[in-house]
Copies of this chain bind each other. A is one copy, B any other.
Amino acid sequence: MPDHIYKKIEIVGSSPNGLEEAVQNALARAKKTVRNMRWFEVTETRGCIDEGKISEWQVTLKIGFTLEE
């Protein structure tokens, strides 16, 4: 019975529309090169302001994925 080993990487996703979309954008990009993603943890939420309005949400998340044998 193999014991699972995971790696965690740290990605910053962004979106002009909100923090949930920023997380989704981060995962969509990570998916291109990372397989077997299992979970994420939000570690920071921030954003840019332009003319007094939010121009970009920026969410830092850690993504855990299974390391293959």
A residues engaging B (CB < 8 A)? 1, 3-16, 18-20, 22-31, 37-42, 44-49, 52-54, 56, 60, 62-64, 67
Contacts and interface: CB of A to CB of B under 8 A. Distances in A.
Identical chains bound together, number: 12
Contacts of A48: 38-39
Contact of A3 (B4, B14, B37, B40): B14
Nearest to A41: B46
Interface of A is mostly: strand
B12 A5 contact: yes
Contacts of A54: 23-24, 27, 40
B49 A10 contact: no
Contacts of A20: 18-19
